[in-house]
Structure 1
Amino acid sequence: MWFADYTATYLERDVRQILELRDLAAFHRFLRMCAARTGQLVNLSQLAADCGITHNTAKSWLSVLEASFLVFLLPPWHRNLGKRLVKTPKLYFLDVGLAAWLAGQRSEEAIALGPMRGPLFETWVVSETIKTLRNRLLPHELFFYRDAHGREIDLILEVDGAPRLALECKAGETPAGDWFAPLARLAGEIGAGSTAVVFGGNSDQPRESVPAISWRRLPDLLAKAME
């Protein structure tokens, strides 16, 4: 009920005035399509086509959502600053509850057993990282990394131009053996200072190379990385 009211009063009324919307149904469809794509690369052409709007309209609407702190565009990490600015970012909602509601996830069971479980967990990790670092006024930049073979690091915390922490997000409650080696290898390639897998379990699982950190201890992990 709260998310329905929030969508009606803020997203559909206030944002509608900012954008001078004529087609509210198209905008609501755009919101739901964005939520369904949380944690994915931004493809404005595909997003526009799915919503029946132009590429420029999709770009304008997404810019307003970003300026309203509803979504965050996570840029790709690259040693060349120019390439960071032109490569495709990933889209994340800053309120994972709103993302779940807009994506049609109405219960704990739907999230726990459905295909949105992983993207929503990753969205939570990214959004809570952003909030934690900004609330503590800690200087940082956040990125993701994808190499030429499609291998990826979900989140990189960069401080003073150097990758301080590389994180992988896993919704599973029990660590799997294949979670760790790919992250360690990619983190080594970019020179990350430390690594960790943030997972859905309630207690940490120590490992020799890459630790598995409970989602409950994400603030502690970030604080240690910033020391």
Structure 2
Amino acid sequence: MLYERLTRVPDRSFFLLGVRGVGKSTWVRSALPSAVRFDLLDEALFTDLLADPALFGRMVSAVGTREWVVVDEVQRLPSLLNEVHRQIADRDLRFALLGSSARKLKSAGTDLLAGRASRMAMHPLTAAELGSDFDLDEALRYGTIPLVWAARDRGEVLVSYTQMYLREEIRAEAAVRNLAGFVRFLPVAALMHARQLNAAAIARDAGVARATVEGYLEILEDTLLAVRLPALEAKLRVRERRRPKLYRVDPGLVRAVKRQFGPVVPEERGALLEGWVLGQLRAHNEQQRLYDDITYWAATESTIEVDFVLRRDHRHAAIEVTAAERYISAFVKGLQAAADLPGLARRIVIYRGRRAFRTEDGIDVWPLETFHQALRDGELWS
């Protein structure tokens, strides 16, 4: 089944990045049906352009002014960006540049386009996009990457997906010298999902050097599988600087590398739900500008944290996530401790219960559906 995505076509050229199978190609076929398309997964086309990069310019020259040109898997031939830049500047062509990795694009320097292309991201399916098909248990168990979600055997496809990632994103790009070390690193790093990063512990458990772990983490981010969430540190001294927290972009990817395909157990549900909420925030932010930046907050010399702090202009919104089905007052401890954050406009607890209400000190307690509805309606800050 095809779902209507949150992504919208901008007025000018754009990069659209997202993990493999997230639906970029499917979306662009629907959104830009008359565009001229170059699919660099077509090995014949890839080989021709690799041998003769000038061929791309000759092929594009037949496209009319202001028309759209789609280049799929552009990271395979980042040298094409030189010609893309020229065609935008000289002929006002518009390009949709799709990619499943930012690694080669970053090393090649996408600044070659001199700000002439927007950068956008496509995320796994959100609750808003799934509509009545949304099922939290299934989403946390297998994730919502469309390639996986549409499969009859989601667990089997997740196994294949992990193998495809190692084959096509890592080995094909020669991103790591020690593939065995990277394979050991993946499940160890998955244990850090929704936790403060401890590179030394990961290095020890994966049997690699700490500097190697830092490089591996960059690869996870460059291949769009993970994001590091920084701490809000406005009042912290340098020596007290908090480590970032690590999140995979999809719950299924967390579980797949750990070979966990059965029902989600209570011990993992909290971290998976926290990551799910972050994914919803990031996906909706692409089109709705929910926030200018997102961090987490931790009290100095304390274990008290707030999962997410959104900043928009000079205002902050603090969000705490719990997988509990019944509300208890301990859930708001972090939000109460963060009450003095400058410009704090709203404090929200998201839980798996059914009743929405506001506490005496002004903290909103939302079931997950209330949170999803607030995102759909653009009323997170109201």
What TM bracket, shorter-length normalisation?
0.7 to 0.9
* Superposed displacement of residue 42, structure 1: 0.9
Aligned residue in 1 for 2:366:
213
Structure 1 residue 154, shift from structure 2 partner: 0.5
Query: Does the alignment pair 1:173 with 2:325?
Result: yes
Distance 1:37-1:211 versus aligned 2 partners, 3 A rule:
same
Report the 3-state secondary structure (helix = DSSP H, G, I; strand = E; otherwise coil) of the residue aligned with 1:158: strand
Deviates more, 1:185-194 or 1:151-160: 185-194
- Count matched residues: 219
Tell me, yes or no, if the aligned pair for 2:306 and 2:335 is still in contact at 8 Å: no
Matched, 1:71 2:215: no
Secondary structure of the 2:319 match is strand
Secondary structure, aligned partner of 1:30:
helix
Does the residue aligned with 2:357 lie in a helix, a strand or coil? coil
Letter in 2 for 1:10: Y
Query: Can you list the C-alpha shifts for 1:187-213, whole angstroms capped at 9, x where unaligned?
Result: 312132101111123x34213322221
Q: Distance in 1 between the 2:379 and 2:171 partners?
A: 42
CA root-mean-square deviation: 2.2
Q: Distance in 1 between matches of 2:214 and 2:186?
A: 13
Q: Would the aligned equivalents of 2:162 and 2:256 in 1 still touch at CA under 8 Å?
A: no
CA 69–169 in structure 1, closer or farther in 2 if over 3 Å, else same: same
Any idea what the Cα deviations from partners look like across 1:32-55, whole Å, max 9, x if unmatched?
111111011111111111111111
2:161 equivalent in structure 1: 6
**Aligned residue number for residue 97 of structure 1:** 252
Q: 2:188 aligned with 1:188, yes or no?
A: no
Normalised TM-score (structure 1)? 0.86
Contact 1:100/1:120 (8 A) holds in 2: no
Q: Rg larger in 1 or in 2? A: 2
Aligned equivalents of 1:169, 1:19: Cα separation in 2: 38
- Equivalent residue letter for 1:224: E
Kept in 2, the 8 Å contact 1:129–1:219? The answer is no
Kindly state the Cα deviation for residue 4 of structure 1 after the two structures are TM-superposed.
0.9
Q: For 2:346, give the aligned amino acid.
A: S
- The residue number in structure 1 matching 2:273 is 121
Q: 1:12 and 1:56, CA in 2 relative to 1: closer, same or farther beyond 3 A?
A: farther
CA distance in 1, matches of 2:197, 2:254: 15
Counterpart check, 1:50 vs 2:202: no
Task: Using the TM superposition, give the Cα deviation of residue 226 of structure 1 relative to its aligned residue in structure 2, in angstroms.
Answer: 4.5
Deviation at 1:82, TM superposition (A): 9.2
Gaps of 5+ in 2: 1-155
User: 1:82, 1:7 → 2: CA distance?
Assistant: 40
Aligned-partner SS, 2:320? strand
Contact 2:230 2:243 in 1 (8 A): yes
Partner residue in 1 for 2:283: 131
Q: 1:147 is matched with which residue: 299, 305, 310?
A: 299
State the alpha-carbon separation in 1 of the partners of residues 283 and 224 from structure 2.
11
- The aligned residue for residue 162 of structure 1 is 315
Q: Does the aligned pair in 2 maintain the 1:19–1:61 contact within 8 Å?
A: no
> Could you tell me which residue of structure 1 aligns to residue 43 of structure 2?
none
